[in-house]
Structure 1
Amino acid sequence: MKSWLSLAIALAAPSEAALRFGCSTLTIQRLDPLVEPGKVPSAHLHQIVGGNAFNASMSGDVGEQGTCTTCTFSEDFSNYWTAVMFFKHPNGTYKRVPIMQNTALPNGINGGMTVYYTQQDFNSNGNQKITSFKPGFRMVVGNPTSQKSGVPGLKFVCLENKGTRFPELNDFPKSPCRGGIMTVHHFPACWDGKNLDSPDHQSHMYNTVKEAFNPAGACPSSHPVRVAQVAYETLWDTTQFASMWPRDGSNPFVLSYSDSKGYGTHADYLFGWKGDSLQRAMDSSCMFQGCENGRPLKSQAVNNMNKCSVKTQVQEDIDGWLDAMPGQVVMKK
C-alpha cells in the first residue's frame, strides 16, 4: 500500500524541470538559414551556437544530422543565434565586442551564450503538460526593423558583474557598464500545434509572458500547446571600451544590423534535440546542473564543447578595427 501511495503522489506531482546550460561559440559569420535561407553571405553578422549541421540552408530533422554540438547537453543539436555587438569609435571605425561566459556556468566555455528551457515560470510548470518542439521546428523573436521600445522578453542589462540580472532595460544602457552588457532574448511559449514555421517565423507562436521568468498566462485557443520557454543570455565584454566612450555621452555600441538603440534586437531558434531527449527532460523533475550526467540528459565536458565547429563560408574580416561592419556599405569620405 505504501509503495502505491508513493507512486500516486509522484504521478500527480507537477514536473519542475528547468534547463540552464552553456553553449560555446560554434561560428561567427554572415549566415541565416531562417530569414535568408541559401544566401551566402546573409545581410548581417551572427553569433551561432549549437550543432555542427548549421549551414546556409537547413531542413529536416537537425537532431539526426549533426556530429557534435557546442552545448553542454550532447543530445542537443539545436542552433541558437543572435546579432553581434560592435563598438563604434568616435573616429567612425568599428570593433567587435568580445563575448564572456556566464559566471554560473563551468569555466573555460569559449564565448557563446547561456540557454534556458523553462516552464510556466522559473521553476514550475504550473501543473501543465510541457510539449517538446518537433523536428523541423523553428522560430524568431524580435524584428531588426523595429522602431519601438519595450517588446516583451527582449532586454538589456547593465552589468555590475557577471551575476547581475536586474534592472532589465528596453534598449542600450546610456552610460558605461562596469561589468559589461547582457542581451536577453525570451521566446514565446504557446504553439499552434500545427505549423513548424510560418512566413514571418513568428505567427505560429504566441506570447503570454510579459517579463522574464514570471508566470505565464494561459495559452489561447489559437495556440493551445504549451512548450518550454526558450531564452538566451549573452554577455558582452564592453569594459575594454569604457575609456573611449564619446564625449557627448551618446551610446557607442551598435548591433550588427546597424542598430544603436537596441529596438530591433532579435534571436533565432532551430530545434535539433535528438529523439525524445527534450521531452524526457520536460517530463522530469531535474533542475539545471541536476539534469546532466544521464539524469535524464547526456552531457559533455567543456573541452568537447569548444572543439565543435563548422567551416567558415564567408571569408571576411570580422575582427580588428574595421571601416564598416560586415555587410555594411563603406561611406566614402
Structure 2
Amino acid sequence: MRQFIEGLPKAELHIHIEGTLEPEHCLELANRNGIALQHNTPEAIVRSYDFNDLPSFLSAYYSGMQVLLTEQDFYDLTCRYFQKAASEGVVYAEVFFDPQAHTSRGVDFETVISGIHRAQKDARQELGIESGLIMCFLRDMSAESAMEHLHMSLPYKHWIIGVGLDSDERDNPPSKFAEVFIEARKHGFRLTMHCDVNQQDSLLHIRECLDQIGVDRIDHGVNVLEDEELCLDLVHRGIGLTVCPVSNHYVVQSFTSDEIRSLISKGVKVTVNSDDPAYFRAYINENFQVLAEEGDFSQQEIVQLTKNAFDIAWLSDDVKAVYLKKLENYVASFSSSVVI
C-alpha cells in the first residue's frame, strides 16, 4: 500500500504555503534577514510545536512566518513546497496564501504574490506541477481589512483562481464576510471557506457557507455528518470537502478516518490533503498512509479519495479528464505489476 500511495498521481487542494515553512528553512531565513528567533535548532523548533487545538496551533503558525520578508523568501518557500510535492506524486496543487499576515507586518502585497507566482511558473517548467493560487482572508481580522485586500489583489487577479477564509473560527462566522465574498464572486473568483473540526457553531457555519455565501467548496467540514440534510445538500450541489487527517489529529486527537469513510459512503466528494505539513510533520503521502494504517482503507477507497480531488479541483473539464486518465492508467499499471 505504501508503494501504491507514493506513486499515485495526486491533486492537493488544501495546503497553506506558509504552513510548509520547515524548521531548517525558518532558521535559514532568520539568519538571512537578521531576525532573532526564540529557538536556534530545528529540533528545538519542532519541540515548541506544543499545540492541541486550533488557537494554540495558530499562535505557532503566525510566529513562524515572521522570517518571510522579501520576494525571494516567498519564492524559496514556494519552490521548496513544490519540490516536496513532486516527490510525493502531486501533479496539481491549489495553494492558499494569507496576505494579511504579511501586510500587517509591513510586507507589501506585491512582494508576497510575486515571489509565489514566480515559483509557480518555475514549478510548471521544471517539475511539471500545475497549480492555482487561492487568497485567504483571516477571519479574526475585520471584514473591512478583507475587502481592502480583495481590492489589493485585483491587479493580480489573473494569478489568483479563488478566495478563501481561514484562521480562528470562534465568533467569526462566514456571514461576517458575506459582502466580501459577494464582491469576490463579481470579479470571477471561486469561493471556499474553512469550517474546521469541532469548532463553535460548526453546523451553523457550514449552513452559512452553503446558503449565504454560496461556496464552491468547504475546507475541513467533517462535522457535516452530524446533520443528514447538510450531507444531502453537499451531494446535491456537488460541493466537496478538503479534509486533512493528520492536522485533525492535532486538533481533535483523531485522524477522522471513520468520518472520512462515512462521507465516502454518503457520496460526498471528500479529499485528502496536508494542510500545514511543516507544523504537523506530515505531507500528503503520510496523510493517505495514516488512513491505510489506522483506518484500514483499501486501494479502492484511496483511489476514490484521489479521484474526488481531481473532480472538485478548479479546472476545466478537459484538463480534469487528462488527470483522471493519468490516474486510471496508474492504477491499471500498478495492479498488473503486482505479483501474487
Tell me, yes or no, whether TM beats 0.5: no
The structure carrying a bigger strand percent of its residues is: 1
Which structure carries more relative contact order (alpha carbon 8 Å, separation 6+)? 1
Greater per-residue helix proportion: 2
TM-score normalised by the chain length of structure 2: 0.24
